[in-house]
């Protein structure tokens, strides 16, 4: 028997139209900023009681926040967009005007816009207004186009309405935020809409539920995923894969608690620099609370690994020491910033901290990068770039001396140049204790995600007074390398679900092989073969649902099973399996022993059947 062809295979997305971000295009910046003003003018014409607040450009469009007595509906968005087209066709000049603070205040009071008065208080001179002809104006620094006719009304779309608090403060007025997008051409808008639809099809929150990988529970709390048996298999497969790679490279596994004393994080600097992102302290009583004596859920694993290193006086012969842990950490992300698996409050970091001599630093850094690149190859992640994340010298969020930072940044730059890697610098993207090399992955929809990271750290060894005995008997300070190839398991799984559209490579799939008996008469044989496959490490199952063959096949396709086999009289008689894979389609009858061997080889080589 054969398995019908399916149209559910994943074809690579064609990227015909380049969609730059606003920050990458001065033309788009002007278009989108002006479009936000045109939208606000249209809103106030149709809804005279609506007050405007702020309306900036964002990377894929723009928004404006309104205080309106009536909620905006989808029907209202269509009417607003239609009014915007009328405004654009009037070819209104966009005029910049500088005014004194007093003049601006008088004009705002005259039109009764209370939010503008509050905005004005925070502005530095010169105060600039932008006018759309003589019809409408707002406080703004620009930039804008010179005339509304420069904007194509067919390249604009209002997308949604959402709630937003004034100044992001939950104690202040609730506003209505209208999101829109604007492009240079209708073709760009069409491509943007296509990608949005594709993003919905690939959305890991939807696919994760359909594939039975994870859930969220209101009783447990937002940002705290619960992993099902299939999802746990997926996580475990990723963990086991990285653990095996680490063992080959001399890493030592450790396990640390989920909580620790506040004093630990005061020493590391997390309490001073990261307190707002940590869960509140647990104290025994009011006095302990006032003295900041208590425990906190850990936001980082590094202070714990440092304690393991420091538990004994180390010799240079023990270095480099590579401590590794899949450690779950907790960060108090704001509820509005949570999003599926990619932004959560409890997540597992594939963390490792390497303690090295200064002479070993560059070589160990290169070895870590080699590990990360091998991980990406196995995950079939090819479209990424390297970012040197350095400190912003004008910021006070960092710890340590200028000399230490200069030394750390130079070490990272030397390493990537030795490797011949293409990179760009991200000023202000460093961790508070040291610079880092981040790997920025671009997915099938051209969205960017940070995955692997490597950080050079001279500061924490200093703060914790770490030492080792050098060859000459002197006490020396080690250097730390912080490293996480995945970044976090939760974010990685979310990204992989969307990158693969739920169609995982064979080695990662929670269920790798499904047998489909044409009737219950052949179920025992199918179950026997599934047991044999499981005995050699293949995640196999037999479908016992007693559905018609067509339904069994459709269910296997819907569940995105990489390899499936129909079992009927011919297969039982010949001890063969009629194989079809999602990667290659119909393969025909193959002896059971050959199927087992090929499955084992494909899984161990991270390849297809």
Residue 449 confidence (pLDDT): 86
**pLDDT one-digit tens code per residue, 197-219:** 998 999 999 999 999 999 999 99
Higher confidence at residue 190 or residue 383?
190
Whole-angstrom distance, CA of residue 404 vs CA of residue 479: 11
Q: Which of 338, 570, 303 is nearest to 463 (CA)?
A: 303
Q: Which of 483, 522, 62, 524 is nearest to 302 (CA)?
A: 483
Residue 593 confidence (pLDDT): 95
Q: Give the DSSP letter of residue 380.
A: T
Tell whether the model's pLDDT for residue 429 goes beyond 90: no
Whole-angstrom distance, CA of residue 256 vs CA of residue 305: 8
Average pLDDT of every residue of the chain: 91
Contact 178, 156 (CB under 8 A): no
Whole-angstrom distance, CA of residue 526 vs CA of residue 595: 13
Residue 175 confidence (pLDDT): 93
Residue 428 confidence (pLDDT): 85
Residue 442 confidence (pLDDT): 82
Q: Which of 398, 403, 423, 427 is nearest to 413 (CA)?
A: 423
Dihedral of the CA atoms 468, 474, 477, 481 (nearest 10)?
Answer: -50
Higher confidence at residue 395 or residue 69?
69
Contact 225, 215 (CB under 8 A): yes
Q: How confident is the model at residue 535 (pLDDT cuts 50, 70, 90)?
A: very high
Count Cα neighbours of 541 within 13 Å in the Cβ-side half-sphere. 13
User: Mean per-residue pLDDT for 173-182?
Assistant: 94
State if pTM tops 0.85. no
Mapped onto helix, strand or coil, the DSSP state of residue 265 is helix
Q: How far is CA 466 from CA 63, 265, 309, 315, 458, in A?
A: 50, 16, 8, 12, 10
Residue 396 confidence (pLDDT): 79
Contact 565, 532 (CB under 8 A): no
Residue 458 confidence (pLDDT): 87
**pLDDT one-digit tens code per residue, 21-33:** 899 899 999 999 9
Which of 114-128, 187-201, 221-235, 530-544 is predicted with the least confidence, judged by mean pLDDT? 114-128
Q: How confident is the model at residue 6 (pLDDT cuts 50, 70, 90)?
A: very low
**pLDDT one-digit tens code per residue, 92-111:** 999 999 999 999 999 999 88
Whole-angstrom distance, CA of residue 495 vs CA of residue 287: 45
108: its two tokens: 């705002």
Whole-angstrom distance, CA of residue 279 vs CA of residue 408: 30
Tell whether the model's pLDDT for residue 12 goes beyond 70: no
Which of 241-250, 334-343, 357-366 is predicted with the least confidence, judged by mean pLDDT? 334-343
**pLDDT one-digit tens code per residue, 143-153:** 999 999 999 99
Residue 15 confidence (pLDDT): 52
Contact 299, 269 (CB under 8 A): no
User: Mean per-residue pLDDT for 243-263?
Assistant: 96
Residue 540 confidence (pLDDT): 97
Residue 432 confidence (pLDDT): 79
């Amino acid at each position: 028997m054969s398995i019908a062809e399916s149209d559910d295979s994943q074809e690579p997305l064609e990227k015909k139209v380049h969609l730059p971000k606003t920050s990458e295009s001065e033309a788009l910046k002007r278009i989108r900023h002006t479009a936000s003003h045109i939208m606000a003018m249209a809103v106030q014409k149709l809804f005279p009681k609506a007050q405007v607040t702020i309306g900036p450009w964002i990377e894929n469009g723009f928004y404006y926040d309104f205080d309106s007595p009536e909620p905006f509906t989808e029907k209202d968005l269509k009417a607003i967009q239609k009014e915007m087209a009328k405004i654009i066709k009037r070819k209104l000049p966009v005029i910049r005007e500088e005014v004194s603070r007093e003049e601006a205040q008088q004009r705002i009071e005259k039109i009764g816009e209370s939010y503008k008065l509050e905005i004005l208080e925070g502005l530095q001179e010169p105060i600039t207004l932008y006018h759309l002809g003589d019809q409408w104006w707002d406080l703004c620094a620009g930039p804008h186009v010179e005339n509304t006719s420069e904007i194509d009304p067919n390249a604009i779309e209002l997308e949604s309405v959402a709630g937003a608090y004034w100044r992001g403060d939950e104690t202040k007025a609730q506003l209505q935020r209208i999101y829109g997008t604007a492009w240079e051409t209708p073709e760009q808008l069409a491509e943007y809409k296509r990608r949005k639809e594709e993003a919905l099809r690939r959305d890991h929150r939807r696919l994760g539920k359909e594939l039975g990988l994870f859930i969220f529970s209101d009783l447990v709390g937002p940002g705290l995923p619960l992993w099902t048996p299939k999802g746990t298999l997926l996580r475990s497969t990723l963990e086991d894969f990285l653990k095996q790679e680490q063992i080959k490279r001399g890493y030592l596994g450790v396990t640390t608690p989920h909580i620790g004393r506040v004093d630990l994080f005061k020493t590391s600097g997390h309490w001073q620099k990261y307190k707002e992102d940590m869960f509140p302290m647990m104290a025994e009583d009011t006095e302990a609370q006032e003295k900041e004596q208590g425990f906190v859920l850990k936001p980082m694993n590094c202070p714990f690994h440092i304690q393991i290193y420091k538990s004994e006086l180390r010799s240079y012969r023990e270095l480099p020491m590579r401590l590794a842990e899949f450690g779950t950490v907790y960060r108090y992300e704001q509820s509005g910033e949570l999003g599926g698996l990619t932004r959560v409050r409890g997540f597992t970091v594939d963390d490792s901290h390497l303690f090295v001599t200064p002479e070993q630093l560059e070589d160990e850094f290169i070895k870590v990068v080699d590990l990360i690149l091998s991980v990406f190859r196995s995950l079939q992640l090819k479209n990424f770039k390297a970012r040197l994340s350095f400190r912003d010298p004008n910021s006070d969020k960092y710890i340590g001396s200028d000399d230490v930072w200069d030394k750390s940044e130079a070490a990272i730059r030397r390493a990537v140049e030795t490797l011949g890697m293409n990179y760009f610098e991200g000023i202000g993207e460093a961790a508070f204790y040291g610079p880092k090399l981040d790997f920025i992955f671009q997915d099938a929809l051209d969205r960017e995600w940070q995955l692997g990271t490597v950080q050079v750290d001279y500061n924490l060894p200093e703060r914790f007074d770490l030492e080792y005995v050098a060859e000459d008997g002197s006490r020396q300070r080690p250097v730390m390398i912080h490293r996480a190839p995945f970044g976090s398991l939760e974010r990685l799984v979310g990204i992989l679900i969307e990158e693969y559209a739920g169609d995982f490579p064979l080695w990662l799939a929670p269920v790798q092989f499904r047998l489909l008996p044409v009737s219950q008469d052949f179920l025992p044989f199918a179950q026997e073969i599934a047991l044999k496959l499981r005995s050699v490490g293949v995640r196999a199952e037999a479908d016992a649902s007693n559905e018609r063959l067509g339904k069994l096949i459709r269910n296997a396709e819907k569940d995105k099973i990489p390899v499936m086999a129909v079992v009927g009289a011919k297969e039982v008689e010949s001890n063969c399996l009629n194989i079809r894979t999602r990667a290659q389609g119909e393969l025909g009858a193959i002896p059971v022993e050959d199927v087992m061997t090929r499955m084992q080889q494909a899984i161990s080589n991270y390849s297809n059947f």
